[in-house]
Structure 1
Amino acid sequence: MISTTKAVIIEDEIPAARLLKSMVEAIRPSWEVVVLPGNIEESVEWFNSNPHPDIIFLDIQLSDGNSFMFIEQAKPESMIVFTTAYDEYAVRAFSLNSIDYLLKPIHKERLQDAIVKFENLTSRYIKDFNENSQMLEVLQSLSNTEKRYRTRFLISGVDRLFTLQVNDIAYFYSENKETFAVTTSGKEYIIDLSLDKLSEQLDPDRFFRANRQTMVSIDAIQKIEPYFQNRVSVAVQPPFKNKILVSKEKITAFKLWLNY
């Protein structure tokens, strides 16, 4: 008999925890997924009285402390995938030590990559993590650091360099392997970053990755309408040359984002 993979989600934001649970279950329907309260005390108590899961999706910042404190107390015998809003530069240390992380808002493709990575690591024991003092120091420093998002871009003009403020950008789009920023006044500039990289560097409260081609600012949205196949159409100002559609897989996350 094949044993069922058991996963635990520890996240202090209930909508985010429910969304992540539904995403994991959609990717791996056979998994048993449990959501724990997003605090250290109750999560440690659960780990002390239950068999440890195979994998934990663990938010770095919990409601009563940080995940460093949880790991010290619970000593989980599980693979850990961190969920965090910290930028790629700060969390790069995790990937160097074969511990994966998911940046918020979590995208299905990255979640699937993390799950596949977990499945490929057939023998992983959290003891190695606990004995890696350098990793614990990185985690502790991240937990005490205020998140900083990108606020501007350096743009190369015809005869000069100038800065473009993120607050002046209505949306981004990709075309022919290039990324463009469109300002609230309708001007377009080439940005030397992919939309994937922008998703990691921009404030997720302000920008949403609607689809593979576009990322929109909350302030640019003028109208949202139902569309075919359970999708929605988003109208922005200034108008985009193509129709911006949010796929049915992202509808729940989109609604949560609008209602945050």
Structure 2
Amino acid sequence: MNALIIEDEKLVALELAASITEVAPNISIIGTVGSVKTAFRWFSENAEPDLIFADVQLADGVSFRIFEQFQLSGPIIFTTAYNEYAIQAFKANGIDYLLKPVDRDELKRAIGKAQSLINAKSNVALDVKKLLEVINTPTTARSSYKEHFLGNARNSWVPIKVSDIAYFTRDQLNFMVTHANERYILDYDTLDQIELLLDPNQFYRANRQCIVNIDAVHQVKGLANLKLSLKLKAPNHQLDIEISRDKAPSFKKWLEK
């Protein structure tokens, strides 16, 4: 089985190719393209691969433009750094997606599903028009993001505006911390649940223990191992948030939105 990778970050593409080879040695990576424009040329000159791994957001646009231009029949596994509303549309249409950094077990399961579809000679149709409608719908019209969270402080519930929250963190319990460094316990089991309720343009999942508000970011420093060290504005400046090497490119994109 052959596969094409559509990814604009060279390091991410190389690591994804290595992971694919590790979990599915039978897959041959026949190419990597890094932009919508390059993909247009590639599909004009080459036969459709058995499987496609496609980043959602490329430097020159979203990858959906590629599949709008070319009617492809094989399965597509999307990768994305942004857990946005459109992901639900992918899943509803039976298209797999992987959040960056890509988890090996999730990658293996996604490839297994693709292999089953290919073996069964199933046609996987991507309803690009429907996906684009979802994405192009103004956020105000389609957003279900939270505007307030209830925090527990001294056995009292306090409503806190999302815009007033600097970051969410996990330390046995889930907490939200305001820009004024006020700390409240949240009645949620995981940060994953909280992340789904937040606007991804405003909040970023920095690591397993922290989700940060872009308005709370003070500065970012590069580390020798290609990781990033994120510092927040005072009075939360004592907190040191580490961004992994895998997440560093997507974090930079998020900051530049």
Match of 1:153 among 138, 148, 166: 148
What code does the residue aligned with 1:129 have?
V
CA contact (8 A) 1:211 1:245 kept: yes
TM alignment of 1:22-37, pairs within 5 A: 22-28=14-20, 31-37=29-35
Q: CA deviation at 1:52?
A: 1.4
Seen in structure 2, the aligned counterparts of structure 1 residues 198 and 56 have a Cα distance that, compared at 3 Å, is: farther
- The C-alpha deviation readout for 1:125-174, integer Å capped at 9, x for no partner, is 586333x8xx5664253243234372523416656673x22211111101
Residue 124 (str. 1) matches residue 117 (str. 2): yes
Match of 1:6 in 2: 3
Query: 1:47–1:76: 8 Å Cα contact kept in structure 2?
Result: no
User: TM-score, normalised on structure 2?
Assistant: 0.70
Residue type matched to 1:21 in 2?
Answer: A
Give the aligned CA root-mean-square deviation in angstroms: 3.9
- CA shift, 1:216, in A, is 1.9
Residue of structure 1 in register with 2:24 after alignment:
none
- With structure 1 as the length reference, what TM-score do the two structures score? 0.69
Offset from partner CA, 1:106-135 (integer Å, 9 cap, x none)? 3323x76145312343242586333x8xx5
Matching of residue 172 in structure 1 with residue 165 in structure 2: no
Structure 1 match to 2:192: 196
Cα distance in structure 1, aligned partners of 2:227 and 2:68: 44
- The equivalent position to 1:54 in structure 2, one of 50, 64, 67, is 50
Change (3 A) 1:74 1:214: same
5 Å-filtered alignment, 1:1-260, equals: 5-9=2-6, 14=8, 17-18=9-10, 20-28=12-20, 31-38=29-36, 43-58=39-54, 67=64, 70-71=66-67, 73-83=69-79, 85=82, 87-88=84-85, 91-102=87-98, 106-109=100-103, 113-125=106-118, 128-130=123-125, 135=127, 138-147=130-139, 148=143, 150-155=145-150, 162=159, 164-176=160-172, 178-191=173-186, 192=188, 194-225=190-221, 231-236=227-232, 237-239=234-236, 243-260=240-257
The 8 Å contact of residues 66 and 143 in structure 1, kept in 2 or not, is answered as no
- Name structure 1 gaps, 5 residues minimum: none
Give the gaps of 5 or more residues in structure 2: 22-27
* CA separation of 1:225 and 1:66: change in aligned 2, threshold 3 A: closer
Is the CA contact (8 Å cut-off) linking 1:100 and 1:114 kept in structure 2?
no
Contact 2:36 2:63 (8 Å CA) reproduced: no
Instruction: Give a deviation string over 1:24-69, Cα, whole Å, max 9, x none.
Output: 1342357344115325xx64553242021232234668868883x7
Q: Supply the distance in 1 between the matched residues of 2:235 and 2:219 (Cα, whole angstroms).
A: 12
Letter in 2 for 1:107: P
Identity fraction in percent: 29
